[in-house]
Amino acid sequence: MTDKISPRVDIAFKKIFGVEENKDLLISLINSIVGAEDQVSDVTLLNPYNEKSFRTDKLSILDIKAEGADGKRFNIEIQISDEADYDKRALYYWGKLYTEQLKVSQDYSLLSKAIGIHILNFTSIPGVAKYHNVFHITEKDSGLIYFKDLELHTIELNKFTPNSKDELSDIVARVKNSLDIWSVFLTRNDLLNKDNLPDELNDSNLKKALAVLEVMNFSAEERDAYEDHLKWLRIEANTLKKYEQKGREEGKAEGKAERDTEIARAMLIDGDSVERIARITGLSNEEIEALKD
């Protein structure tokens, strides 16, 4: 494969940020997102990258769980596709991250803050221009934050780089902070040369991430899964535009159905088995067989 590997595909993302030798990159990413009070100097990976973790899952979410030196927990995931009720699932993942800290008979005082970080390849919050949003539970009238252990971040990458035809100079002009730098890496690494970066992107962590991406190797199974997920990402980018313009739930459902069908067609052309296509797209064997005709 001659194309550069995309770090927006979850397998590549976790292979970059979810391994012991790249913990410095994960720390940099976390610190670019969270506030001053939650900065980390070191983290323990709670679920390091494991090739077996995605073999049987349907476009599984390869999240990264980490614990800071002070006990705070972080769940970082990059989500390929827009699925129904994503907000509910984000809360569910936060709940698991928070509650799994406590063993039977332990005191609630042992619970530490849990922070969910959701890096999204789609628009999750329509009508809001900024791409990084932070959520807490606050009192309705005063805005008081009482439940301080809950924090959720959404990072909508398509809002940072809405135009795929932008030149590097256009993108660099948007860079104001370290999260912007990581967003450039995630969205337009194809424009970057680690040995010749603009001053605004001249960052040691970015250089290392680009170097990791250059030498990244996949096993046969990893490559198959990566290609499947990349197809999903590319086809979705085209089909979701249709329902985003409609702005209706029925349009959204229509867009998702079309996306699944287009992915299935692409996989049939590549000679993938009906069983594998069904696992990836969620279509029935009968629906996939019908596409052959």
Residue by residue, what is the 3-state secondary structure of the chain? CCCCCCCCCHHHHHHHHCCHHHHHHHHHHHHHHCCHHHCCCCEEECCCCCHHHHCCCCCCCCCEEEEECCCCEEEEEEECCCCCCHHHHHHHHHHHHHHCCCCCCCCHHHCCCEEEEEEECCCCCCCCCCCEEEECCECCCCCCECCCCEEEEEEEHHHHCCCCCCCHHHHHCCCCCHHHHHHHHHHHHHHCCCCCCCHHHCCHHHHHHHHHHHHCCCCHHHHHHHHHHHHHHHHHHHHHHHHHHHCCHHHHHHHHHHHHHHHHHHHHHCCCCHHHHHHHHCCCHHHHHHHHC
Closest CA relative to residue 260, chosen from 280, 290, 244, 275 = 280
| 86 domain residue, yes or no | yes
pLDDT at 248: 47
pLDDT at 134: 97
| 19 domain residue, yes or no | yes
Same domain, 102 and 146: yes
Same domain, 42 and 162: yes
Same domain, 210 and 104: yes
| 198 domain residue, yes or no | yes
**pTM listed for this prediction:** 0.80
Q: Could you give the number of structural domains in the chain?
A: 2
Residue where a domain terminates, one of 185, 215, 245:
215
pLDDT at 205: 97
Same domain, 257 and 159: no
Q: HSE on the CB side for 60, CA within 13 Å? A: 17
| 1 domain residue, yes or no | no
* Per-residue pLDDT of the chain in tens (293 residues, 90 and over written 9): 446 789 998 889 999 999 999 999 999 999 999 999 999 999 999 988 876 655 555 445 578 999 999 999 999 999 877 766 788 989 999 999 999 998 867 899 999 999 999 999 888 888 899 999 999 999 999 999 999 999 999 999 989 988 878 899 999 999 999 999 999 999 999 999 999 999 999 999 999 999 999 999 888 888 887 887 787 777 666 655 555 555 545 555 565 677 678 777 877 877 778 887 777 677 888 888 888 87
Same domain, 224 and 206: no
Same domain, 85 and 225: no
Q: Which domain holds residue 15?
A: 10-215
| 4 domain residue, yes or no | no
| 189 domain residue, yes or no | yes
Same domain, 178 and 249: no
Same domain, 206 and 83: yes
The rounded distance, in Å, linking the Cα atoms of 171 and 191 is: 10
Same domain, 61 and 135: yes
| 3 domain residue, yes or no | no
| 2 domain residue, yes or no | no
Residue where a domain terminates, one of 165, 196, 215:
215
pLDDT at 55: 55
pLDDT at 58: 46
Same domain, 101 and 131: yes
Residue where a domain terminates, one of 171, 197, 215:
215
Same domain, 206 and 242: no
